[in-house]
Amino acid sequence: MIVSIETPVFKGGWLQRCIDSVLYQSSPHWRFSLLWDGGDDQSRRILEDLEQRKHPNVTVHFGENRGIARARRFLTEHSEGEMILPLDDDDTLPFNAVERFLAVAEQKPWSSVVRARRKFIGEDGKIVEAEPWFPFGPRQYQHGMVTDLFNHSQPYLIRRRAYERTSGWEGFEDFHYAGEDCDLYLKLEEVGTIELLDEVLYYYRIHGERASLVLTDEAAFEMWRRLADKTIVRLGLPLRRSNDKVPYHYERVPRTDPTLNRVDFVIISDGDASRISVERIALSLKRADVADDAVRVVTRDGARHLEEGLRETVRPLICFLDASVEIDGTESIEILLGLMTELEADLVGPKLVNEDGFILCADPGFGEDRRPASAGAGEFDEGQYNGVTNARWLCEKVLLLRREVTLAVGGIDPGYEHERTAMVDFCLRARQRDFKCCYIGAVEFTSYGSDVVAYPEADGKRLDAKWVDFPHLFAR
């Protein structure tokens, strides 16, 4: 992998030190792009000299002052490399920054951002002992929305394929296009995870000309307010911000009751082997006046088919149905919809039994090895698991969720081989963002397929590595 190090240039005072910190990286796997964006004369002279050296890994651009967000967008659009590392013209990298960032990015391919620590330096480059301005820890959420928007700072490594799933660098025109970093952070965590690397891989220079002094605290508070409100709208979250200073709190607003005509159905098929079952489900839905364009069929192919199905849906609610599940009318689905409203839940799933009345999946949880496990699996169903619980995950064979959940968590991680582990991961991500996940045991579906899951070893390793720092999500 190649890291694209990207620097908009305005000031020349510390630019050479910034450049040198890149040129002498311990890893050769980097490219360096700089844009002179209408800066001072000293910075232009330094860049002209750098360009004349014709370093094979360095590209220099010259332009007029367009603002920080648009300068960053230009650099990202005109660069290559699987990873993007923003670097300001007055800051520096330790010699091993690229090496360490790449190592973690390769270990955690599901990440959209790898964030490390920084230290402050003075004008002379010496360490300045000071408390961090922003937290270094997992982001906090309420009802799916970020509460601590200020919890981000350089350095952060961005996966380009995640960046390309967002609208990119954007800032506020009335603040000279600042606010681009916080905005992009919000968008990136909607398509992947933010992984923390507890090492100092950036030196932030404190001096009297830094941009944050021009911006002011009040401007930062105003931008955070706007970004919170903008994100609520983008995700379609039924929330309103209830205070003006971070960390934010959100209150729910009334949302339209979930009804059958607001649901997209994703039927999971085994191909020709389950064609008759798929037709039976489709016919049953059609009899209940479910529109033809609300029913999609995807062929089972690891976790990828779940993500494929999600991407094809458009309605406010999504229901996964496995072709092995018996659907005779839509009464059970309509009961799930009603209970979803009553419980103010975001994801709901029923009990699953086989044709002989034995439990396949009820009150899903985890075993001591943190592998997905079902309560009562193999027991005869006598109503012992008819209650409602806050579930740790829900079975992919019948699962109903609100669209804002998938928008907030970036959909299904296609890196899993088995659909069960992919859905477990999806539910963990939803719960991490404070979405409510409910098992509703009084609603029962019959499945004519086997529910014995042999979890691939690679899936177990991925699940463990991804969630090792969040043991509370596995606890009842």
| Mean pLDDT, residues 238-267 taken together | 93
| Mean pLDDT, residues 6-23 taken together | 96
Residue 75 CA to residue 35 CA, distance in Å, equals: 7
Q: Tokens in use for 83?
A: 């990873």
Identify the band that residue 53 occupies on the pLDDT scale cut at 50, 70 and 90.
Answer: very high
Q: Are residues 247 and 264 part of one domain?
A: no
Q: Are residues 265 and 237 part of one domain?
A: no
Tell me the pLDDT tens digit for each residue of 171-215.
Answer: 998 888 889 999 999 999 999 999 999 999 999 999 877 766 567
pLDDT at 256: 86
Say yes or no to pLDDT of 355 above 70: yes
CB of 305 within 8 A of CB of 299? yes
- Closest residue by Cα to residue 325 from 260, 393, 383, 267: 267
Q: Tokens in use for 77?
A: 């659009």
| DSSP 8-state code for residue 265 | E
3-state SS, residue 322: strand
Q: Are residues 67 and 173 part of one domain?
A: yes
Question: What burial letters (b/e) apply to 168-204, b meaning 16+ CB within 10 Å?
Answer: bbbbbeebbbbbbbbbbbbbbbbbbbbbbbeeebbbb
- Report in angstroms the alpha-carbon separations of 200 from 94, 105, 106, 132, 248: 8, 16, 19, 12, 28
Count CA atoms within 13 Å of residue 390 on its CB side: 11
Q: Are residues 295 and 211 part of one domain?
A: no
The count of other CB atoms within 10 Å of the CB of residue 454 is 8
Radius of gyration for the alpha carbons in the chain, expressed in angstroms and rounded: 25
Residue 391 CA to residue 384 CA, distance in Å, equals: 16
pLDDT-above-90 percentage for the chain: 78
**Triad 245, 247, 253: Cα angle to 5°:** 85
Q: Tokens in use for 173?
A: 């025109």
pLDDT at 476: 78
Q: What is the DSSP string of 129-172?
A: ----SS--S---EETTEES-TT---S-EEEEHHHHTTS-----B
| Mean pLDDT, residues 404-431 taken together | 94
| Mean pLDDT, residues 357-382 taken together | 92
Residue 446 CA to residue 429 CA, distance in Å, equals: 28
- Closest residue by Cα to residue 397 from 361, 443, 426, 345: 361
Q: Are residues 433 and 290 part of one domain?
A: yes
pLDDT at 327: 85
Global pTM value:
0.93
Q: Are residues 293 and 243 part of one domain?
A: no
User: Among 251, 279, 294, where does a domain finish?
Assistant: 251
Q: Are residues 271 and 183 part of one domain?
A: no
pLDDT at 213: 57
3-state SS, residue 185: helix
Tell me the pLDDT tens digit for each residue of 115-128.
Answer: 999 999 999 989 99
Residue 285 CA to residue 188 CA, distance in Å, equals: 36
Q: Tokens in use for 54?
A: 């014709």
* 17: containing domain: 3-251
Pick the range with the lowest mean pLDDT from 39-53, 208-222, 418-432: 208-222
pLDDT at 218: 86
Q: Which residue has the higher pLDDT, 289 or 394?
A: 394
Residue 213 CA to residue 119 CA, distance in Å, equals: 18
Say yes or no to pLDDT of 5 above 70: yes
- Closest residue by Cα to residue 48 from 56, 36, 38, 57: 36
Say yes or no to pLDDT of 451 above 80: no
Q: Are residues 173 and 271 part of one domain?
A: no
Query: pLDDT averaged over the chain?
Result: 93
Our count of domains for the chain comes to: 2
Q: Which residue has the higher pLDDT, 209 or 339?
A: 339
User: Among 251, 272, 300, where does a domain finish?
Assistant: 251
pLDDT at 216: 76
CATH number at residue 57: 3.90.550.10
Q: Are residues 296 and 172 part of one domain?
A: no
Tell me the pLDDT tens digit for each residue of 68-118.
Answer: 999 999 999 999 999 999 999 999 999 999 999 999 999 999 999 999 999
Say yes or no to pLDDT of 360 above 80: yes
Q: Are residues 217 and 71 part of one domain?
A: yes
- Report in angstroms the alpha-carbon separations of 230 from 9, 91, 217, 223, 235: 29, 30, 20, 10, 9
pLDDT at 262: 94
Helix (H) or strand (E) holding 422, with range, is helix 419-432
Q: Which residue has the higher pLDDT, 157 or 287?
A: 157
CB of 444 within 8 A of CB of 381? yes
Q: Are residues 352 and 231 part of one domain?
A: no
User: Among 220, 251, 282, where does a domain finish?
Assistant: 251
pLDDT at 167: 96
Q: Are residues 218 and 283 part of one domain?
A: no
Given phi > 0 = left and psi -120 to 50 = alpha, else beta, which region is 449?
beta
3-state SS, residue 347: strand
Q: What is the DSSP string of 285-313?
A: HHHTT--GGGEEEEE-BTBHHHHHHHHT-
